[in-house]
Amino acid sequence: MNTIEEEAPLGRRRRRRYSVEFKAQVVAACQGPGVSLAAIALHHKLNANLLRRWVEQAERNDCVLVARGDISAPSVAAPAFVPLPLETRTARAAEIRVEVRRADQSITVSWPTSEAAQCAAWLREWLA
């Protein structure tokens, strides 16, 4: 498939121009999850920076990169912010927990975080 609209004359190097259909096809290939832009650029013999610019333009809708048959297709913008519910901490999670193991024995001490200074003093005294 020839992706270049016009061929450069021999002896002089000219800027390559790509068809809108080709740009749309390559940008569409970049839209999948986990797709490497650099790999797609190498596959199509493009500069990765050029491909990144095409993708950014397509996302901003500066340059409409759709195939001529798909001009009526609406573009759906991704939401800018998606709220996520967060769990509230329970009273049990707000504690200091010290576990000491020696040979086959284990001691676990739970202390409220509101009494952290007293816990530190007890621990210093116990370890001395």
Q: What is the spatial distance between Cα 60 and Cα 65, in angstroms, rounded to a whole number?
A: 11
Hey, what amino acid is at 81? F
pLDDT, position 77: 59
pLDDT tens track for 88-101: 665 555 788 888 88
- Dihedral angle over CA of 45, 51, 52, 55, nearest 10: -140
Residues 109-118, mean pLDDT to the nearest whole number: 87
Cβ-contact 46, 30 below 8 angstroms: no
Residues in the chain: 128
Other CB atoms within a 10 A radius of the CB of residue 47 amount to 10
Domain ranges for the chain, please list them.
Answer: 20-70, 95-127
pLDDT tens track for 17-67: 888 889 888 998 888 788 888 999 999 999 999 999 998 888 887 555 554
**Tokens, residue 1:** 């498939």
CB half-sphere exposure, 39, CA atoms < 13 A: 6
